[in-house]
Amino acid sequence: MLRNRVIDTAGRMVPIFQRQALRSLSGVKQSKLTTVEVDDKSGIATLSMNLPPVNTLTMELMHHMIDSINEIECNKSRGLILTSSNDKVFSAGLDLKELLNPERKRLEEFWTLFQDLWLALHLCGIPTAAAVNGHAPAAGCVLATACEYRTMLPNLFIGIHATRFSFVISKWMMLSYQSVVPRRVVERALNQGKLFRTQEALDIGLVDELACNKQEALDKCAAFIATFDKANPVARTLTKRMCREPDVRDLLNDRAGDLRDCVDYVLTPLFQEGLCSHLEGLKNKK
Amino acid sequence: MLRNRVIDTAGRMVPIFQRQALRSLSGVKQSKLTTVEVDDKSGIATLSMNLPPVNTLTMELMHHMIDSINEIECNKSRGLILTSSNDKVFSAGLDLKELLNPERKRLEEFWTLFQDLWLALHLCGIPTAAAVNGHAPAAGCVLATACEYRTMLPNLFIGIHATRFSFVISKWMMLSYQSVVPRRVVERALNQGKLFRTQEALDIGLVDELACNKQEALDKCAAFIATFDKANPVARTLTKRMCREPDVRDLLNDRAGDLRDCVDYVLTPLFQEGLCSHLEGLKNKK
Amino acid sequence: MLRNRVIDTAGRMVPIFQRQALRSLSGVKQSKLTTVEVDDKSGIATLSMNLPPVNTLTMELMHHMIDSINEIECNKSRGLILTSSNDKVFSAGLDLKELLNPERKRLEEFWTLFQDLWLALHLCGIPTAAAVNGHAPAAGCVLATACEYRTMLPNLFIGIHATRFSFVISKWMMLSYQSVVPRRVVERALNQGKLFRTQEALDIGLVDELACNKQEALDKCAAFIATFDKANPVARTLTKRMCREPDVRDLLNDRAGDLRDCVDYVLTPLFQEGLCSHLEGLKNKK
């Protein structure tokens, strides 16, 4: 079923969610919120999130990321490395302000965009790797687990701590987590809202390798992408999507259902109160 | 779908299977077959199985356990620790006498009760932990794996050895086992009817931690329950149930089907002969 | 559902796919392409693939293997050990010549036979073990993972490197791989087309034990088969099939769909070109 989506009549790979006309990539390309750099030698594209102070996934940043992912995929890059231009935070996760007393219509738009972003990255036709060079809580971790490989700098946090701010994640986020970390560990971590330190993340397999600094992280991602050199690219893409299809089947079959579940829950007083007191807590910490 | 079941209109958690009116808990509460002790400081309830000589899961014990679980869940305890008042045996498993030449109607009642007990424990809204202070074969192991954490005393056995007495477990028991232990290990253990020693159980992850004695086991369970302190309780419950829903989906969708499969199989001459010779073997051992 | 298939009215086990009348086994039985030896003491049957030079799975070899598996299963052997009479290659996998510019009808027959072979081995009623005494790439690895246990000699390769010759495996092969090796490792290995050395295969659990030579490999398989001695054989078979049913459900429900998917893909120019250049590469290596 997914097979049909990947090759167009001219035999080129086609992204799952294409949002705009293709643009040519030339060396470094800068939008306001993301940077794409293509290494001429390796053919690998590095996509940096670039929204100060902490790469919060606002609607605008997500738009830019989806465009950048599609662009990289269509321009036959050899692989995609996701990283942050901020060495403290990879991404702080979703823009929680969008979840606080939201207007239903805007919330629907916000969540649909997050679904789009995740699908674009999770099913991306080319090899993907995350150079986690800063903290990666919540949706920051979700983005990292959507990639095929993760390397991480020391003394950082990664994990899905949604229950700490009363949020209940969607099934596809759980399945993505379980595709990387054993089921038993995932259930407990999700229930606790656990954030793992770099070394713990390595121990449970949430992260594949440590790196001393950002350059080493990028190099390890590039070395990972090179492990696919002997594979036929289209067969690789089809195989990747077959492996990942069970995780997204429910979402693809019923995106409206996932949207409704999420929006309905976010609008409950229970969640709103929980989020409120979480945000108060963060304020008091500062 | 499971979300609707967990919160009533007043925002309180509601147990999945509520069998009776609520009763107040005050300090120690003693029924004939189970004891519930609530620690005033920690708010954690300890549920002890208390049917000499070996906590065989008779219909009466299962009734008492379901009531106790529901009671603890409704009274907003901070967590539930399952243990045995017998330091040799946690639970010897189902009452095999109920499976020997049974009357169909009674067998149906018996199996339905075991389904109820498992669902009540597996989907319990509050954190659950098992202090395995004695042997836990067959359904004793199933109860332990329904909890979120297990600690175990040395030199004991735990495992599902159903094939040794010709029994074929239900799919939900297999899935529960697989939620804790890797698939490859589960298949082999189930086929062999393997009982694991404490240390082996720790090595494969069937048990999370060892404890030198019962008090240490209870303390470790309490420490585990405390790891959820930063999580919003309702979000935690919803997240737990999302993680566990795939294991029980078939059972909840078709409880009658699981019942029929089990009853039909128990009534075959093949099973009856196998059970008979197993019981003979146990007698001769004594 | 699978339960009905396993026991006939006389209480005997019945193979899933029976292709011919039963023949009696007596000591050693030699067909052109497989050898079956039954150990009189242990009651274990050893099935050797015997098609020089590299046990390529031709239609003829697959026919012989299915017959031998059914024969062993019906004659109440205590277990089945799969091995090769060639100490360099366990099996080199499917006959790729059948995939090169194939006639559709013949290709359908070929793939159906491979489905039959896999189902016969994967759901075989008696304990199965693979003594991997030579390289096991591609379908050679698939055969090994269909068994319940694998032991392997040093300095060999095992793995599914299909993407290297542009092939996209079926979902049931992926699920079989995942039943042995963690999901994260499987996805990456399939995408890379990775062949594991013996020691790596042991590290990830693809192989259970090492053996210094073929005799030790056979002895370890026999010891594995003996671990089921305390289990009721029919309950064991039913339990094994319950564990494995999720892997084959889609295939059993829609064998024609899997056939169509495979045949359609093999007939694309993309695959044909990829296979061609792979075969060229192999020729140039020699």
Q: Is the peptide bond before B102 cis (omega within 30 degrees of 0)?
A: no
Which residues on C lie below 8 Å from B165 (Cβ)? 232
* A234: nearest CB among C165, C174, C270: C270
CB within 8 Å: A179 and C187: yes
C13 or C94, which is more confident: C94
Which residues on B lie below 8 Å from C181 (Cβ)? 184
CB within 8 Å: B166 and C3: no
Structure tokens at B227: 């790891």
Nearest Cα residue to B279 out of B103, B111, B125, B92: B92
Amino acid A281: pLDDT: 87
Say which residue the tokens 């965009």 belong to. Answer: A113
Interface A:B, Cβ pairs < 8 A = 68
Pairing mode of beta strands A209-210, A150-152: parallel
Amino acid A30: pLDDT: 58
Nearest residue in chain B measured CA to CA from C146: B184
Lowest-confidence segment of A6-20, A201-215, B46-60, B154-168 by average pLDDT? A6-20
Amino acid A248: pLDDT: 94
Q: Which stretches within chain C are classed as H helix? A: 3-6, 59-74, 104-122, 139-146, 171-178, 183-192, 198-204, 214-226, 233-253, 255-266, 269-285
Nearest Cα residue to B192 out of B225, B163, B234, B226: B163
Supply the Cα-derived Rg of chain C in whole angstroms. 18
Packing angle between helix A104-122 and helix A139-146, nearest 10 degrees?
Answer: 30
Predicted confidence (pLDDT) at residue A101 exceeds the cutoff of 80:
yes
Structure tokens at C199: 């020691």
Q: In Å, how far is C184's CA from the nearest CA of chain A?
A: 5
A53-65 pLDDT, tens digit each: 999 999 999 999 9
Q: In Å, how far is C283's CA from the nearest CA of chain A?
A: 17
C239: pLDDT confidence band, cut at 50, 70 and 90?
Answer: very high
Q: Residue B256, Cβ neighbours under 10 Å: how many? A: 9
Q: Does A183 touch chain C (CB under 8 A)?
A: no
CB within 8 Å: C235 and B182: no
Q: Which of C164, C184, C265 should one mutate to test binding to chain A, selecting the residue with the greatest count of A CBs within 10 A?
A: C184
Say which residue the tokens 């002890």 belong to. Answer: B48
A40-88 pLDDT, tens digit each: 999 999 999 999 999 999 999 999 999 999 999 999 899 999 999 999 9
Nearest residue in chain B measured CA to CA from C1: B261
Amino acid B284: pLDDT: 85
Q: 234-253 in B: which are within 8 Å (CB) of A?
A: 234-236, 238-240, 242-244
Longest Cα–Cα distance in chain C: 58
Cross-strand pairs, B38: B45
Predicted confidence (pLDDT) at residue A148 exceeds the cutoff of 90:
yes
With beta carbons less than 8 A apart as the criterion, state whether A157 and A200 touch.
Answer: no
Structure tokens at C262: 């495979």
Running DSSP on this structure, what letter comes out for residue C236?
A: H
Q: 130-149 in A: which are within 8 Å (CB) of C?
A: 148-149
Predicted confidence (pLDDT) at residue C33 exceeds the cutoff of 50:
yes
Q: Residue C281, Cβ neighbours under 10 Å: how many? A: 12
Q: In Å, how far is B196's CA from the nearest CA of chain A?
A: 19
With beta carbons less than 8 A apart as the criterion, state whether A197 and B266 touch.
Answer: no
Distances in Å between the alpha carbon of C127 and those of C29, C79, C173, C223? 20, 5, 20, 11
Q: In Å, how far is A163's CA from the nearest CA of chain B?
A: 5
Q: Does A174 touch chain B (CB under 8 A)?
A: yes
Question: Which stretches in chain B have pLDDT values below 50?
Answer: 1-14, 16-26
Say which residue the tokens 């606790």 belong to. Answer: A192
Looking at every residue in chain A, the average pLDDT score rounds to 91
Amino acid A95: pLDDT: 97
A126-145 pLDDT, tens digit each: 999 999 999 999 999 999 99
Distances in Å between the alpha carbon of B198 and those of A51, B182, C178? 51, 17, 27
Nearest residue in chain C measured CA to CA from A244: C187
User: Strand, helix or coil at A87?
Assistant: coil
Instruction: List chains touching B (3+ CB pairs under 8 A).
Output: A, C
Running DSSP on this structure, what letter comes out for residue B198?
A: H
CB within 8 Å: B240 and A164: no
* A228: nearest CB among C165, C186, C192: C192
Which residues on A lie below 8 Å from C164 (Cβ)? 230-232
Q: Does A186 touch chain B (CB under 8 A)?
A: yes
Amino acid A191: pLDDT: 98
Distance CA C101, CA C267 (A): 7
User: Strand, helix or coil at B161?
Assistant: coil
Structure tokens at B38: 């609530």
A29: pLDDT confidence band, cut at 50, 70 and 90?
Answer: low
User: Residue range A20-25: average pLDDT?
Assistant: 41
Phi and psi at A45, nearest 5°, equal -100, 130
User: Strand, helix or coil at C35?
Assistant: strand
Amino acid A10: pLDDT: 43
Nearest Cα residue to A16 out of A170, A108, A146, A122: A122
Q: Does A277 touch chain B (CB under 8 A)?
A: no
A31: pLDDT confidence band, cut at 50, 70 and 90?
Answer: low
C2 or A84, which is more confident: A84
Amino acid C29: pLDDT: 61
Q: Which of C168, C178, C270 should one mutate to test binding to chain A, selecting the residue with the greatest count of A CBs within 10 A?
A: C168
Nearest residue in chain A measured CA to CA from C195: A230
pTM: 0.91
Burial of B196 (0-12, 13-18, 19+ CB in 10 A): buried
User: Residue range C148-176: average pLDDT?
Assistant: 97
Q: Which of B171, B178, B183 should one mutate to test binding to chain C, selecting the residue with the greatest count of C CBs within 10 A?
A: B183
Q: Does C230 touch chain B (CB under 8 A)?
A: yes
Say which residue the tokens 């010779």 belong to. Answer: B277
Distant-in-sequence, close-in-space partners of B217: CB < 8 Å, separation ≥ 6:
B83, B131, B132, B133, B151, B152, B153, B211
User: Which helix (DSSP H) or strand (DSSP E) does residue B271 occupy?
Assistant: helix B269-285
Distance CA A235, CA B7 (A): 47
Say which residue the tokens 């086991």 belong to. Answer: B217
Looking at every residue in chain C, the average pLDDT score rounds to 91
Q: Does B200 touch chain C (CB under 8 A)?
A: no
Sheet with C136-137, strands from edge to edge, namely: C136-137, C157-159, C196-197
Distance CA B127, CA B227 (A): 10
Predicted confidence (pLDDT) at residue C13 exceeds the cutoff of 70:
no
Running DSSP on this structure, what letter comes out for residue B165?
A: G
Instruction: List chains touching A (3+ CB pairs under 8 A).
Output: B, C
Task: Report residue C67 CA to chain centroid gap.
Answer: 14
Distance CA C134, CA C193 (A): 19
With beta carbons less than 8 A apart as the criterion, state whether C151 and C132 touch.
Answer: yes
Structure tokens at A205: 């397999």
Nearest residue in chain C measured CA to CA from B186: C243
Amino acid B21: pLDDT: 37
With beta carbons less than 8 A apart as the criterion, state whether C150 and C207 touch.
Answer: yes
Distance CA B178, CA A183 (A): 9
Amino acid C28: pLDDT: 60
With beta carbons less than 8 A apart as the criterion, state whether A165 and B232 touch.
Answer: yes
CB within 8 Å: B232 and A171: no
Nearest Cα residue to A143 out of A177, A167, A169: A177
Distant-in-sequence, close-in-space partners of A101: CB < 8 Å, separation ≥ 6:
A272
Alpha carbon distance, N-terminus to C-terminus of chain A: 50
Residue type, C6: V
Interface A:C, Cβ pairs < 8 A = 68
Predicted confidence (pLDDT) at residue C8 exceeds the cutoff of 50:
no
* C228: nearest CB among B191, B270, B271: B191
Q: Does C254 touch chain A (CB under 8 A)?
A: no
Which residues on A lie below 8 Å from B241 (Cβ)? none
Q: Which of B188, B268, B277, B285 should one mutate to test binding to chain C, selecting the residue with the greatest count of C CBs within 10 A?
A: B188
User: Strand, helix or coil at C76?
Assistant: coil
Amino acid B86: pLDDT: 93
CB within 8 Å: B148 and A182: no
